[in-house]
């Protein structure tokens, strides 16, 4: 039997059978009342996950990168100045995408392992008395480093100096797995995707847009066509799409939301925290360190783990795949060869996490790592045993 092992990459994530079945549907006419009956309540329910009452949700057939592009193309003009922190591969890629759109990006350079620095954002915004900075970009969960940034703290820093810039957040690897509060944190554009916390196939960018961002789209001069907020919002209001929609993914998203609401969002977040803490206990049991520099930065969806000096994390992840047929995340950018990543988000349980931890231990033993076999597994087992609660049983 092959193909039965879960993946431990930080996305795309494992797809529950229930969602695979939901996506296995025949085509319907996307200009029919049946399609409107699917789309309109779906967009309303997505607002509950973003935690927005005032914002609009728009979806595009794309990955999260398409959501990034939609965020900047709809709200900004060539030559506009934006402020961002570079502290991992995905914050770096968003910065480079902005530059390709002709934006002037001020990048605050941070160590890979730190979060977005609200204090440094605040200092720069206080100095911007002419309000040349039009947007602040924050990566809520930096997938390359396993770091969660405090988006609310960035908003507070912006408000403290009464700066009118918009706040954009990349929540691709956090939404539907970790608490995200679009309205409370004053986020103007929040970018997510179908393939992580929503447990679906890649192919849908899911974007929350505030009234302020929608207003900015009226005067923004960056070119956009496929990713036009205005056209999408107008078509959605009539129960349609401005072009052919990703129908099967929309059916899958309906089923995904049903699963999340059946479990309860707070329970979803607690499950991710508990599973992540078990992984962190395993890392300590191995005598290794996380890339994230301090506990308040620890991500509940992905852990980036530094390998000992003299070992190559690329060899470890290759051995895991070749020998045990399990995929783990590789190190990206300057972390290549230095860290491996365990994705523990989406359709993940403590039992699944233990299988990944134990397999890593086998691979480390094979490669001569100075790690006692069973040390991490025991640490995670003990934590999961002490914190176990009756399982919520729903259709897989």
Mean predicted confidence (pLDDT) in 179-185: 98
Q: Answer yes or no: same fold for 17-261 and 264-387.
A: no
Enter the tokens of residue 258. Answer: 């049903």
CA dist 120 and 153 (Å) reads 11
- Decide if 69 contacts 103 (C-beta within 8 A): no
pLDDT digits (tens, 9 = 90+) for 189-246: 999 999 999 999 999 999 999 999 999 999 999 999 999 999 999 999 999 999 999 9
Mean predicted confidence (pLDDT) in 163-183: 98
Q: Which fold has domain 264-387?
A: 3.90.1150
Contacts of 30 (CB under 8 A, 6+ apart): 240, 241, 244, 245, 247
Q: What is the CA radius of gyration of the chain?
A: 21
Enter the tokens of residue 186. Answer: 């004053």
| Residue 4 pLDDT class (50, 70, 90 cuts) | confident
**Whether pLDDT at 396 is above 80:** no
pLDDT value for 223: 95
Does domain 17-261 sit in CATH 3.40.640.10? yes
Mean predicted confidence (pLDDT) in 41-68: 97
Helix (H, G, I), strand (E, B) or coil at 83: strand
pLDDT value for 395: 45
pLDDT digits (tens, 9 = 90+) for 88-109: 999 999 999 999 999 999 999 9
Average pLDDT score over the chain: 96
Enter the tokens of residue 127. Answer: 């100095």
pLDDT value for 394: 47
Mean predicted confidence (pLDDT) in 303-313: 98
CA dist 174 and 187 (Å) reads 15
| Residue 188 pLDDT class (50, 70, 90 cuts) | very high
**In the chain, where are the structural domains located?**
17-261, 264-387
**Whether pLDDT at 12 is above 50:** yes
- Could you give the C-alpha distances from 150 to 154, 169, 216, in angstroms and in order? 7, 11, 25
**Whether pLDDT at 138 is above 80:** yes
pLDDT value for 2: 59
């Amino acid at each position: 039997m092959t193909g039965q092992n879960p993946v431990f990459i930080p996305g795309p994530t494992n797809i529950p059978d229930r969602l695979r079945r939901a996506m296995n549907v025949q085509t319907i006419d996307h200009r029919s009342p049946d399609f409107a009956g699917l789309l309109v309540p779906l967009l309303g329910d997505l607002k509950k996950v973003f935690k927005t009452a005032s914002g609009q949700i728009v979806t595009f057939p794309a990955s999260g990168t398409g959501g990034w592009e939609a965020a900047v193309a709809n709200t900004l003009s060539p030559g506009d100045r934006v402020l961002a922190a570079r502290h991992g591969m995905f914050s770096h890629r968003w910065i480079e995408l902005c530059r390709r759109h002709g934006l002037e990006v001020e990048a605050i350079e941070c160590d890979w392992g730190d979060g977005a620095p609200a204090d440094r954002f605040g200092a720069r915004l206080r100095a911007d008395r002419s309000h040349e900075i039009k947007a602040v970009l924050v990566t809520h969960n930096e997938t390359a480093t396993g770091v969660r940034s405090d988006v609310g703290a960035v908003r507070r820093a912006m408000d403290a100096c009464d700066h009118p810039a918009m706040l954009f957040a990349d929540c691709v690897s956090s939404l539907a797995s970790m608490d995200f509060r679009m309205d409370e944190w004053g986020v103007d554009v929040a970018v997510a995707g179908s393939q992580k916390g929503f447990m679906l196939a890649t192919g849908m960018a899911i974007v929350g847009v505030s009234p302020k961002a929608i207003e900015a789209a009226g005067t923004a001069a960056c070119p956009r066509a496929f990713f036009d907020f205005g056209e999408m919002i107008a078509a959605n209001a009539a129960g349609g799409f401005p072009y052919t929609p990703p129908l099967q993914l929309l059916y899958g998203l309906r089923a995904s939301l049903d699963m999340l609401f059946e479990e309860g969002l707070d329970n979803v977040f607690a499950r991710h925290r508990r599973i992540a803490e078990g992984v962190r206990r395993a890392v300590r049991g191995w005598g290794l360190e996380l890339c994230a520099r301090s506990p308040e930065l620890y991500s509940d969806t992905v852990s980036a783990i530094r390998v000992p000096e003299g070992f190559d994390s690329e060899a470890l992840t290759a051995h895991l795949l070749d020998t045990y047929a399990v995929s783990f995340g590789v190190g990206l950018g300057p972390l290549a060869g230095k860290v491996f990543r365990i994705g523990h988000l989406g359709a993940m349980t403590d039992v699944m996490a233990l299988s990944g931890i134990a397999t890593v231990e086998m691979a480390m033993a094979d490669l001569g790592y100075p790690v006692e076999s069973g040390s991490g597994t025991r640490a995670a087992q003990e934590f999961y045993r002490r914190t176990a609660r009756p399982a919520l049983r729903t259709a897989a």
